[in-house]
Structure 1
Amino acid sequence: MTAAPARSPRRYDPDRKNRIIAAAIDVIAEHGVAGTTHRRIAAAADVPLGSLTYHFTGLEDLLEQAFTHHAEQMSPVYEAHFDRVRGRADLVEAVTDLVHGDAGADHRDWAVAYELYLAALRNPALRTVTESWMRRSRAVLERFVDPTTARGVDALIEGLVMHQTLSTAAVSRTETRTIVAGLLGVQP
């Protein structure tokens, strides 16, 4: 009777799923959703390809969990940015700072957010993620303005950041402040 070959011990890696999700966010930021593949994510996470199918039902499930994680990480940063706002003039400054990258979000974070918005156009599960994220953003703004104005300010932030990110001639802080102040009825 021959002895059974010795099995190598299973590698204990309790943080593997979280590492895969973090790697997926990095891959999305670098390659966009269209360029995000199982192989790229596995390589970025330094895990075997089979780990992705073990932890996720497919690429759509992984993307949904990655985008959810990203939104959950960004929401507290967004909320904290408005902690010192005491009135509309402070709100104008806080929104201006947010648009100009002084609120803890960088170009990579916005790239992931815009990839989420684009992917949500075709994937209803991702619309749930975007709706939840937008609802949280508006709830922060509703501490200072009515719900309709909060929706407008939220949309203005998204649009101004998109212009800031994509434009070859970025909007100045002064122009941003004037635009935000006009929406909020504050003298710049």
Structure 2
Amino acid sequence: MYLLVYVDDIILVSSSVAATYRLIVALSSDFAIKDLGKLHFFLMLEVWYPGDGLALSQQKYSLDLLRHAGMLECKTATTPMSSTETLSATDGTLLSADDATEYRSVVGGLQYLTITWPNVPYAVNCVCQYLRAPRDTHWSAVKHIMRYMFVPLSYMVFTFGSHPLACSQLLVMRIGLVTQMTGDQQGLCSFLWS
């Protein structure tokens, strides 16, 4: 059984209906709670239930972020980061105050996408390092990440077995060409899913 508490919302995921019911009854004896049924949307995550599993997506949020950045009609990229360019704190020209604000807004939005895009965190981390004084080269890297997002979206599916902690997952992701990024992805996925 998994229990997530966020401010005044509780999400409960369990493979046992009886255990779920017992916990809801126990919580309702001390707190005023309301069972809203199956989860469909929570903190920029869309949830649906294929077969006996649980699938998470951020397609709506990704499209909203692309719309916010004015990139709904952009060309796609096959990797989240260019394999030939490196970022530096001194290369390029500083962004104007308005463009720097936009940069920070979009990069902040990209951080939420790392939940369902396990091959994006490295690239997002790279552009986050320049939030204080972003330059045009950093903005180009952000746009590259956004162009990568335009490719059909990643998702995770969790299938629960007989034990609540015995879960297997299907993780659909595109592997980038950057060796360091690929190594980080594999290490992250091994850490999270083993």
TM-score normalised to the size of structure 1?
0.29
Q: Which has the higher contact order (CA 8 A, sep 6+)?
A: 2
TM-score normalised by structure 2 residue count: 0.28
When you count strand as a share of all residues, which structure comes out higher?
2
